[in-house]
Amino acid sequence: MTALVEAGLADRAAAPPNLIERLRNLEVASGGDRQVLQVIASGRRLLGDPDAVARPPGASTFAEAGERPEPR
């Protein structure tokens, strides 16, 4: 997924024509995994997706949960 986004940023013509749509579909299929959602959301933003990134029902943000993301 990251490699596809990087390729799309380097050369828009080289990226799959439906890359943003594919990322949206992966987001829905992610099962709410926060790390996966974060990677997908970053890719969509970098590619200029104007639609808001959806959170699954019942999911909370780090701030709402009183958590902070772990440094990498």
**pLDDT given for residue 6 in this prediction:** 87
Q: What pLDDT shows up at residue 61?
A: 47
What pLDDT is recorded for position 44?
A: 92
Give the pLDDT confidence score for residue 42 in this predicted structure.
Answer: 92
Distance CA 39, CA 43 (A): 6
The encoded tokens of residue 8 equal: 């799309």
DSSP classification of residue 53: P
Judge whether 37 and 52 are in contact, CB under 8 Å. Answer: no
- Evaluate whether 42 touches 33 at the Cβ level (below 8 Å): no
> Along the chain (72 residues), what's the average pLDDT of each consecutive run of 10 residues?
85 82 90 90 89 58 48 52
pLDDT of residue 13: 80
pLDDT for the residue 8: 84
Residues near 58 by Cβ (< 8 Å), separated by ≥ 6?
32
